[in-house]
Chain A
Amino acid sequence: MRIDLNEIQHWIAQGSRILDLGCGDGTLLKFLIDNKQVEGYGLEIDPEQINLCIDKGLNVVEQNLDRGLGNFADKSFDTVLMTQALQTLHYPHLVLDEMLRVGKECIVTFPNFGHWKARYYLATRGRMPVSDLLPYEWYDTPNIHFCTFKDFEVLCREKNIQVIHRQVVNEKSLLTLKDVAPNLFGETAIYHLRKSV
């Protein structure tokens, strides 16, 4: 289980109604159904991932997130989730708006492009960072909209989005540096959001 998925469950209420955007192979949705008795749907566009969701008996719906969530009513889900997909979208800010319209709350996770390794790579080699976490070359990466934690929080302020919780997680969380300077040492951010009233 990816470390960010394990953290997310703490912010999900028992028996709540979930929409998982870019649900991948359905690992998180299945985990939440088994452990939190949630009900809901996963949206995905990758045929192979959809197959893996079907194998798990999940409700998976083929839908392109860049076309919005116009087929879902306002506040029709308790929580709308999107893990590690924000950076793959053509219009991440619009999808974020849609998530906050459809869900009472939202949980978003994404990789931190401000991590020191990425900064060091770019600074010393003058080339776009390639690492274990982000193993793609710039021209064939599905990740087309990178941001840092700071960038994301600026967007939240501009959009009047309230950050309920923020958690920074690393694959090897031996160091506590991420808690001191998360935008430099944090690998993955998990944001728990809702629209400010």
Chain B
Amino acid sequence: MPITLPADSVGLVTPQTIQFNEPLLLACGKTLDNYQLVYETYGQLNASKSNAVLICHALSGHHHAAGYHTMDDRKPGWWDAYIGPGKPIDTNKFFVVALNNLGGCHGSTGPTSINPATGKPWGPDFPKLRVRDWVASQALLADRLGIDAWAAVIGGSLGGMQAMRWALEHPERVRHCVVIASAMKLTAQNIAFNETARQAIMSDPNFCDGRYLEHNILPRNGLAVARMIGHITYLSDYAMGEKFGRDLRRGSFERGTDEPVEFQIESYLRYQGDTFANNFDANSYLLITKALDYFDLAREYNDDPVLAFSHAQAKFLVVSFSTDWRFAPDRSREIVNALMGARKAVTYAEIDSNFGHDAFLLPNPRYQQVFARYLAGIATE
């Protein structure tokens, strides 16, 4: 808990909710008649409404990207290292919008919301969403906020996929597209990790075919294992070794004792899993990982990424991290190569980091410099 808020924090923030009553036609063919989106904003929208930046969140993210909700909060928003006064996404210059995506479980309409047709939680019946549905709903949010064009659409991982889709779906509404630790489509290995996580959830006896809320139970164990699998893949071998090594939390290997031994990494992973299981909805996890798997930027462009990006008007910043094996630098280079093939403006930096995919969330001097300098250029346009 911060007794006083850090000077470079956006400070205390309050989420806002916006209700939409116009039917939204989804990629799956179904429509969502009514829905709400929860979002936060940081900084001031300027008179010409030209300084708005959209933050697209990744798998476990949400609208609370920066600052604190109360003085009792243990931790700030998930991207507080990068959003705030004087930080790379400088709230002295930009008006930052961060939302919880549709299908999420932090306030926006999703599987835990009540299905008006049945009066029960949507659960597994919530329409399957794709990245383009999120982009469509974000565009409607932009309309309601009076933002014609974003100075930048920014996202890491799955958020980067949304940012790229924005640049293709609404080219005239995106001046800059910042794609961090992302990919134009997942690899087979990546889909495999997601499927293993989903199977962990679905094989929990409490899952009840996704109708666990109707039974007042939660598939906590399955969701925790799913998170543990994910968490392993977001870190690097080095980072885990450095943080935990083979340190023991309890027990010993002394001869003559057979007390149970617990490694620090076991306890850490279980803690991460349990914490996540208390704060995330299993159906949301299934829905979002499916959206990740299905995403293929160039599918509708003849599987030609160059043709896909030829529709973009934005300038691009692409960033990857050396030890990220979930969204490896090679995936980012594919994006960069396609952009150069399409003759688009692009800057690319491959940041040295020991922290795997998680690096995109963590402080790193070079990453901060590249990010800050690129955005400083946007602010002076």
Residue numbers of A with Cβ under 8 A of B are 17, 39, 41, 47, 50-51, 53-55, 57-63, 71-73, 76
Q: A109: shortest Cβ distance to chain B, in Å? A: 24
Contact A47 B366 (CB under 8 A): yes
Contact B377 A57 (CB under 8 A): yes
- Complex Cα distance, B369 from A47, in Å, reads 10
Partner of A50, one of B340, B341, B345, B370: B370
Partner of A54, one of B333, B336, B340, B373: B373
Point out which of B347, B366, B374, B376 has the most chain A C-beta atoms below 10 A from its C-beta: B347
Contact A54 B341 (CB under 8 A): no
Nearest 9 CB-CB pairings of A with B: A61-B348, A54-B373, A71-B337, A62-B350, A57-B377, A62-B349, A59-B345, A62-B348, A60-B347
Given the known A-B contacts A51-B369, A55-B373, are A72 and B340 also in contact in the complex, defined by CB atoms under 8 Å? yes
User: Is B208 in contact with chain A by the CB < 8 A criterion?
Assistant: no
Contact A50 B333 (CB under 8 A): no
Q: Other than A17-B343, A61-B348, A71-B340, give 17 A-B pairs with Cβ distance below 8 A.
A: A47-B349, A50-B349, A51-B369, A51-B370, A54-B374, A54-B377, A55-B373, A55-B376, A57-B377, A58-B347, A59-B345, A59-B346, A60-B347, A61-B340, A61-B346, A71-B333, A76-B341
Task: Report chain A residues within 8 Å CB of B349.
Answer: 47, 50, 62
For window 345-380 of chain B, which residues contact chain A by CB distance below 8 Å? 345-350, 366, 369-370, 373-374, 376-377
Point out which of A59, A60, A62 has the most chain B C-beta atoms below 10 A from its C-beta: A62
Task: Report chain A residues within 8 Å CB of B340.
Answer: 41, 61, 71-72
Task: Report chain A residues within 8 Å CB of B376.
Answer: 55
Task: Report chain B residues within 8 Å CB of A17.
Answer: 343
Q: B89: shortest Cβ distance to chain A, in Å? A: 15
- Complex Cα distance, B366 from A84, in Å, reads 26
In the complex, what residue of chain A is closest to B344 when comparing beta carbons? A59
Interface of B: prevailing SS? helix
- Complex Cα distance, B369 from A94, in Å, reads 33
Given the known A-B contacts A54-B374, A72-B340, are A61 and B347 also in contact in the complex, defined by CB atoms under 8 Å? yes
Q: A55: shortest Cβ distance to chain B, in Å? A: 6
Task: Report chain A residues within 8 Å CB of B377.
Answer: 54-55, 57
Task: Report chain B residues within 8 Å CB of A61.
Answer: 336, 340, 346-348
- Complex Cα distance, B374 from A53, in Å, reads 10
B interface, size bucket: 10 to 19
In the complex, what residue of chain A is closest to B350 when comparing beta carbons? A62
Task: Report chain B residues within 8 Å CB of A62.
Answer: 348-350
Partner of B341, one of A47, A58, A63, A73: A73
- Complex Cα distance, B340 from A73, in Å, reads 10
Contact B347 A51 (CB under 8 A): no
Contact A59 B347 (CB under 8 A): yes
In the complex, what residue of chain A is closest to B332 when comparing beta carbons? A62
Task: Report chain B residues within 8 Å CB of A59.
Answer: 345-347
In the complex, what residue of chain B is closest to A42 when comparing beta carbons? B347
Task: Report chain A residues within 8 Å CB of B345.
Answer: 59
- Complex Cα distance, B341 from A73, in Å, reads 8
In the complex, what residue of chain B is closest to A50 when comparing beta carbons? B349
- Complex Cα distance, B210 from A43, in Å, reads 50
- Complex Cα distance, B350 from A47, in Å, reads 9
Task: Report chain B residues within 8 Å CB of A57.
Answer: 377
Task: Report chain A residues within 8 Å CB of B350.
Answer: 62
Task: Report chain B residues within 8 Å CB of A51.
Answer: 369-370, 373
Task: Report chain B residues within 8 Å CB of A55.
Answer: 373, 376-377
Point out which of A47, A55, A73 has the most chain B C-beta atoms below 10 A from its C-beta: A47
In the complex, what residue of chain A is closest to B329 when comparing beta carbons? A62
**B155-190: contact bitstring with A at CB < 8 Å (1 yes, 0 no)?**
000000000000000000000000000000000000
Point out which of A57, A58, A73 has the most chain B C-beta atoms below 10 A from its C-beta: A57
Contact B343 A39 (CB under 8 A): yes
- Complex Cα distance, B55 from A37, in Å, reads 34
A-B contact pairs, 25 of them (CB 8 A): A39-B343, A47-B366, A47-B369, A50-B349, A50-B370, A51-B369, A51-B370, A51-B373, A54-B347, A54-B373, A54-B377, A55-B373, A55-B376, A55-B377, A57-B377, A59-B345, A59-B346, A61-B336, A61-B346, A61-B347, A63-B348, A71-B337, A71-B340, A73-B341, A76-B341
